[in-house]
Amino acid sequence: MERSTVAFRYLALLAMVLAARSAHAVPFDSRVKPLLEKYCLDCHTGKDAEGGISLDECTEEAARSTDRGIWLKVIRQVQGQAMPPREAEQPTEAERAELSEWISGFALKPDCSQGERPGRVTLRRLNRTEYNNTVQDLFGITLRPADEFPSDDVGYGFDNIGDVLSVSPVLLERYLQAAEEVAQAVIYAADAETAPIQKLDGKTLGHTGNFGHDVEFPTAGNYIIRVKAAGELAGNDPPVMAIAFDGKMRKKFDVSNPKPMFRDFEIRTTATAGKHRIDVGFMNDFSGTDPRTKKKVDRNLAVERILLVGPIGVMPDPLPEPHQRFFKKPIDPKAEREEQYEQAKDILRPLASRAFRRRATDAEIEALGQVFEAARYEGQSIERAMQASVTALLVAPSFLFRVEQEASPGKIRRLDDFEVASRLSYFLWSTMPDDQLFRAAARGELRTDEQVVAQAMRMLADDRSRALVENFAGQWLQLRSLEEITPDRGQFKEFDDDLRAAMRRETEEFFWAIVRQDRSVLEFLDADYTYVNGRLAKHYGIPEISGDEFVRVSVDREKRGGLLGQASVLTVTSNPTRTSPVKRGKWILENLFAAPPPPPPPDVPELAEGRGEKLTGGLRQRMEQHRENPSCAACHQLMDPLGFGLENYDAVGAWRTKDGEFAVDAGGELPGGRNFRGPKELRQVLLDRRDEFRRCLAEKLLTYALGRGLEWYDACAVERIAEQAAAEGDRFSVFVAEIVKSPAFRKRESTSAR
């Protein structure tokens, strides 16, 4: 190697070292560690540390990696002057600034000198939404079988996280039931299970005799006459029932099941088209005295109904559309079995490739074909045999799971084009790749940044990207929780299911506008418009809007703007009888700044409401009286001021100026001394923290896109995404583009890659 090259690399390495050192002029051992020992370690030491934050074993070496999450929590408390608690010795402003400088300048500056790490995603199954969407797109049906599955667990705020998507015995059973249901919905099999049914009235026969019906048989063919009957038992013998067809007795049955335990008795017959007679007879009436009980008994025959099933084996004309699509290349019923086997494989190969989101292997197609062949050998019809193959396909791991090949030990591998296509489609559409994306993968056209971003932008422009509204926004903004909220109808008489639906729809339309029109994501924090229908407009006091259609309207910036002026968010962050500044403040910290407070201590009681406690004044005063535990103050002084800034909205998001008999005080003072009053000034506070919001949105979207929780090393990707978004006007598409370009989205590392 040339000396100049060696020298250049040495200088580059030296520059990185010096840059790292200059980024944190405050030394850890001589300055930061003594500050921690003086002000923090009394409470934050060992396994039982306050808030779960233990600082006694933190080192400079681990600060930018495994300990990064700890320092992120610490700096929020230090800069917000929430820690140390007020009753403890306080650091000077210089000491507080020194600690903040080290954390922000070193610990929270990710070391990206080796590039971004991709991490690895746990093998994960399709969640319920993805399963429904996938079978609908695969077969062109509207069935939603996964609605009957157990609820999906949630991790890191979302229900598509591989670590929590377990498979229980109940779910395995549901998978099989769903597969059979889908197969029968796609393929019409002309047998007794799908044949037309005519229902005829039954009758109770108390004496020997019969009753019947003249029935129109639509076509010549095979039919089943099914009688649902039970006996009123008496004597030594059960009732004997006879079924006759066109005046000829066809079969007798002993009806030993007692009423009301009805069961089916049936005969099969061939009939011509036209009218035919069906009769049911009672052959052995009996009445007398039971020698044991001395009571009078009477044997009778109870017929609940008669069913005429058929014609059997006659295909409808026209055939159902899913059936026609499936059998574009029909299987010849007159062909030899071996030829039918090959024809079945020709149908199954493209279907399996789409279902598995990659090219199906010859071995997989052989296995599915053998299921068809075995069913034909047992005498099943072509349609029934293909239903068996489709059922087998839908319970295959390659369909149920989003399978990605593991990287070699200690290595990182680039995902192949089909794996990238699958990640794109389930990120943006919550379903399988469409034909265009699948063809691009087959041609090897998902390998460069430009190719992947081009597909992502195409998909964002498609209406199917509305899945982001339902599945990403629905969970990020907790809109799904709105269905479980039940405000007190006595206090909020105007609240009903129509208003609930309108609240959610407003936020969905607002989010969809930002996505579809590629607007700035800062409009989530403040915007001069929203979407309402007549019901919601009345709730907001917006005149001249009527009807069910949602329209874009300008808002009074003093009262509303952005997510925090929308009733959906305001309602899910309230209690049934009143607002909750704590819940609202926590929602802001968690969902807009990715800074959730720690859970409250287990022994802290709730605010008294109607239990006889003597707390007086408005909500703010009552909360201040209630909150006397010093360990609570640190978090509440971060949450509560933000929540109090929304006190002009009642528990269902309507504007108010009084809380009962007390005037609303919607002012707040944040740690550090910044004051604001009302939602308009609060929105400016949020906008001033736009860098934190960008990182928060990047974290949320990246978590959802990857299907895993973020690790310390993902900070490099988050910072890059947020910085690029800021440079390009904070457009939603920039977040998506930067995510799909990232190594985390397009590569996979082994468990021991680094």
pLDDT score of 619? 63
Distance (Å, rounded) from C-alpha 510 to C-alpha 480? 16
pLDDT score of 484? 92
pLDDT score of 710? 94
CATH code at 197-312 = 2.60.120.260
Higher pLDDT, 660 or 656: 656
Angle at 305 between CA 302 and CA 310, to 5 degrees: 140
pLDDT digits (tens, 9 = 90+) for 577-606: 999 999 999 999 999 998 887 666 555 555
Query: Mean pLDDT, to the nearest integer, of 263-290?
Result: 93
pLDDT score of 25? 60
pLDDT score of 100? 77
**In this model, does residue 457 exceed pLDDT 80?**
yes
Most confident of the ranges 19-28, 400-409, 610-619: 400-409
Q: Residue 635 — pLDDT band, cuts 50, 70, 90?
A: low
Angle at 489 between CA 484 and CA 490, to 5 degrees: 150
Distance (Å, rounded) from C-alpha 624 to C-alpha 644? 12
139 touches 131 (CB < 8 A): no
pLDDT score of 747? 96
Boundaries of every domain in the chain: 3-107, 197-312, 321-401, 469-600+618-688
Question: What are the CA-CA distances from residue 414 to residues 231, 404, 411, 421, 525 (Å)?
Answer: 70, 11, 10, 13, 37
pLDDT digits (tens, 9 = 90+) for 158-210: 999 999 999 999 999 999 999 999 999 999 988 777 788 999 999 999 899 99
Q: Which of 677, 574, 667, 662 is nearest to 618 (CA)?
A: 662
Burial classification of residue 228, based on how many CB atoms lie within 10 Å of its CB (0-12 exposed, 13-18 middle, 19 or more buried):
middle
Q: Residue 317 — pLDDT band, cuts 50, 70, 90?
A: confident
pLDDT score of 604? 57
**Which residues, listed in sequence order, are joined to residue 589 by a DSSP beta bridge?**
none
Q: Residue 327 — pLDDT band, cuts 50, 70, 90?
A: very high
Query: Mean pLDDT, to the nearest integer, of 275-289?
Result: 93
456 touches 424 (CB < 8 A): yes
Higher pLDDT, 243 or 712: 243
Query: Mean pLDDT, to the nearest integer, of 298-324?
Result: 90
pLDDT score of 114? 82
Query: Mean pLDDT, to the nearest integer, of 285-299?
Result: 85
Query: Mean pLDDT, to the nearest integer, of 386-415?
Result: 96
Helix/strand/coil for 199:
strand
**Which residues, listed in sequence order, are joined to residue 287 by a DSSP beta bridge?**
298
Q: Residue 615 — pLDDT band, cuts 50, 70, 90?
A: very low
β strands within 646-711, DSSP E = 658-659, 662-663, 667-669, 675-677
Q: Residue 19 — pLDDT band, cuts 50, 70, 90?
A: very low
Alpha helices in 403-496 (DSSP H): 417-428, 435-442, 449-460, 467, 474-476
Helix/strand/coil for 286:
strand
Query: Mean pLDDT, to the nearest integer, of 485-495?
Result: 92
**In this model, does residue 743 exceed pLDDT 50?**
yes
pLDDT score of 718? 95
Burial classification of residue 409, based on how many CB atoms lie within 10 Å of its CB (0-12 exposed, 13-18 middle, 19 or more buried):
exposed
Distance (Å, rounded) from C-alpha 545 to C-alpha 547? 7
Q: Which of 496, 482, 477, 640 is nearest to 572 (CA)?
A: 482
Query: Mean pLDDT, to the nearest integer, of 229-255?
Result: 93
Question: What are the CA-CA distances from residue 595 to residues 75, 79, 277, 592, 640 (Å)?
Answer: 11, 13, 77, 8, 14
pLDDT score of 20? 42
Higher pLDDT, 66 or 643: 643
Distance (Å, rounded) from C-alpha 238 to C-alpha 231? 7
pLDDT digits (tens, 9 = 90+) for 84-114: 776 778 888 787 778 878 877 777 777 788 8
pLDDT score of 6? 40
pLDDT score of 597? 75
pLDDT score of 620? 63
Query: Mean pLDDT, to the nearest integer, of 521-535?
Result: 97
pLDDT score of 719? 94
**In this model, does residue 71 exceed pLDDT 80?**
no
pLDDT score of 605? 58
Distance (Å, rounded) from C-alpha 623 to C-alpha 615? 9
pLDDT digits (tens, 9 = 90+) for 361-381: 999 999 999 999 999 999 899
Query: Mean pLDDT, to the nearest integer, of 267-272?
Result: 93
Q: Please, which contacts does 95-101 make with residues 24 or more away whose CB atoms are closer than 8 Å?
A: 95/35, 95/39, 98/26, 98/31, 98/32, 98/35, 99/26, 99/32, 99/35, 100/75, 101/24, 101/25, 101/26
pTM of the model: 0.83
Higher pLDDT, 699 or 74: 699
pLDDT score of 617? 54
* Angular region, 127: left φ>0, alpha ψ -120 to 50, beta rest: beta
Provide Rg for the chain, Cα atoms: 35
pLDDT score of 3? 42
pLDDT score of 624? 61
Least confident of 22-26, 101-105, 543-547: 22-26
Calculate the CA 546 to chain-centre distance. Answer: 33
Task: Write the single-letter amino acid at 652.
Answer: V
CB atoms near residue 56 (< 10 Å): 12
Mean residue pLDDT across the chain = 88
